Chains A and B, each alone.
Chain A
Amino acid sequence: MAQKSTLFPDRRKKRLLIATFFVILIITMMITITAGVYPITVNDVYLTVFQHLGFGNPLGMTNDIVVWEIRIPRVILAALVGAALAISGAVFQGVFRNPLVEPYIMGVSSGAAVGAGIAIMFGFIVISLQCTAFLFGVFAAVLAYSFATIRRETPLVNLILAGIVVNAMFDAGLAILKTIAPYGKLQDLVFWLMGGFGGTKWGDVSSVGVQIFIGVVITSLLGWQLNLLAVGEEDARSLGLHVQRVKAILLGLAIYLTSISVATVGIIAWVGLIMPHISRMIVGPDHRILLPASALIGAIFLVLCDTLARTVMTAEIPISIITSAIGGPYLLYLIRKNRSFYFR
């Protein structure tokens, strides 16, 4: 058809916005790589990356190790995990039609943590660590959802209360694991539970990072379907959406992304709740734009938080403390400002 619709004049602009977020992310990563005890300039980062791509000369051993072996994989993994957590939050909020729900609040993160903890205790290899984390993540979500559903209705208050219960159950599970763990395993477990991106290697990026990247891209492509679900399940069904199937795919992806993130870097709270919210304020509720925007903004946020975590004090601060310090007050602000909006 030669005719052009004038209905969505801002479509190009929104795509441009996504590209802008991506550029901001890359710049943020470049700059944060320079931050740390060992002084490095942006130019060094640039040259090191180029050298590894096959251009130019090596810059020297120390520089290469700090930039290429330590900081770059760490920043990339932080970005990917940030994207994973944020997009999972956006999916949960859309599917459950409430901007106060996310995998962490629903107990998915704790579930995944117990799964990962069990795998660590019994010494499973990397793949089954993620598998166990995912299975327990799904289990936690199913538990929370069925606790919260009464007579086919799932009110928000029930969901949040059910999330608290599920969280408590899995926290107890983790405590049991710690109690029964033999000495050597206990050390592994506690070290992992503290979480964070310290000690990230290229191996983590190529195993977990790639899975997250693929997961985030696939999820981003389901924005249209999520829009329909976000209006209401009955509406979505009458508009021709296979509601149960799409819901399962979307929640499955979100739980998968959350679980493998938790299995790799421990529980990082608040990213999944706050990032979709900020993104929605910037790009609006259309999930075709909102999903990629959340992923990118989440990535930027977590890269910044991780940089704070490793530079503010001489010893590294657990990253969850930083995300909580920002996320907690923000949630409080949201609830007080929009009380009638969330609880009706």
Chain B
Amino acid sequence: MITVTDCTSGYDDTEILHSISFRVQPGIVCGLFGPNGSGKTTLIRCLAGTHPYTGTIHVDGADISRVSPRKLATYIAYVPQSHTPMFPFSVKEVVLMGRNPYVSQISGPSEEDLIRTEQVLEDLRIRDLADHPYTELSGGQRQLVILARALNQDTPVLLLDEPASALDFRNQIRLWRLLQRLAKSGKTILACTHDPNHICWFCDSAVIMNAGTIVTHGPAQEAISAEVLQQLYGDLCMVDSRNGRSVVVPNHQE
């Protein structure tokens, strides 16, 4: 479970997040939704412990500002937006790095770490990529590798920053289905996205942000409402319903 209370954060003099509070229950996929610049990434980075903030963030009852980075990495795994590293580490080396919080800092990964890494690669069906240089993968494959690294951390909470942005439609659906399965297995998942339909189709609950504050927060189908979309986007789009599911569609041009 994630509990955020009065979280305020920003860069240098600019405040991006204004006293944010919300809670994510365990075992669900929670979508973090908002337009560009609404503070989604900053919030995720605060939760991941990689950005300073004021206020308190609790994960499974522990205040994350009071635990060591190593301990925190056993609570929370973070999938950042994909970027290209400089050195051509192989996929297996990158995924193995996920074991860091459990690895002896002197003798390095154990046999068990290697076996778990292999298992994660097989679970995500990327075992055949194991020896490929990470730098030469497509955006979608890279996203999967970083997800594999995060899963290898074996944490109760998984944070993802725009996990579907580099994926084609098929892989987007596969990724969200995977996140749903992970949630069923008991993980708490918080993923940010800027596609409202992803919230409607794949998330159990949603936190809707705009300009550094929370607009609304609740079950996904209710959170993406006509009023909320009106507030975020004006007359740009509307909520339709198909077979009991909400679909956000653009309005016809006048």
Contact = CB atoms under 8 A, between A and B. Distances in A.
Given A7-B92, A7-B130, A234-B50, A239 B114 contact: no
Contacts of A235: 80, 97
A234 B115 contact: no
B169 interface: no
Contacts of B105: 224-225
B42 to A, nearest CB: 12
B153 to A, nearest CB: 7
Give the interface centre of A4, A235, A284 by most chain B CB atoms within 10 Å: A235
Contacts of B97: 227-228, 231, 235, 239
A112 to B, nearest CB: 26
Nearest to B114: A5
Interface of A: prevailing SS: loop
A198 interface: no
B53 interface: no
Contacts of B77: 238
Contacts of A242: 68-70
Nearest to A286: B93
B112 interface: yes
Interface residues of B, number: 46
Q: Name the residue among A7, A94, A284, A286 with the largest chain B CB count within 10 angstroms.
A: A7
A118 B121 CA distance: 56
Contacts of A225: 105
A242 B50 CA distance: 11
B118 A6 contact: yes
Contacts of A3: 111, 115
Closest 3 CB pairs of A and B: A240-B73, A5-B114, A285-B87
Given A1-B111, A7-B96, A237-B69, 12 more contacts: A5-B111, A94-B87, A97-B87, A151-B12, A224-B109, A227-B89, A230-B86, A232-B80, A238-B77, A240-B72, A240-B101, A285-B88
